[in-house]
Amino acid sequence: MPTIVFVQQDGTRHPVSAVAGLSLMEAAAINKVPGIEGDCGGFCACGTCHVYLDDESSTASLPAMHELERATLDFAYDVGPDSRLACQIPLTDAMDGMIIRLPARQY
């Protein structure tokens, strides 16, 4: 069961252990991590599960961003080069210890 650390803009850390196969958004929602809304339930339609992948994390094993994710990110707030939608990233054991930064807000 991998542990992911969600980090808010003020530096508050939220370590979350969740079952591999859940999405990052589902892991955050189940563990009540503030700052991940997930309004569409993970259907890549709202952009409210926007996160930043930390530069120091190993991101090579993550699935590449697909066209729909790229389009939906247009609805997210303060998108940057490290932006992803948490609902499109399935948890794997290889992600244990990964740092995920949260945006200042989702809207």
Decide whether 53 or 56 has the Cβ nearer to ligand FES: 53
Q: Which whole-number Å values give the CA distances from 95 to 10, 23, 39, 55, in the listed order?
A: 23, 12, 24, 14
Q: Decide whether 85 or 102 has the Cβ nearer to ligand FES.
A: 85
CB 106 within 8 A of CB 29: no
Residues that bind ligand FES (CB under 6 A): 25, 38-40, 42, 44-49, 72, 85, 87
Q: Please give the Cα distance from 6 to 95 (Å, whole number).
A: 12
Q: Decide whether 46 or 53 has the Cβ nearer to ligand FES.
A: 46
Minimum Å distance from CB 87 to ligand FES? 3
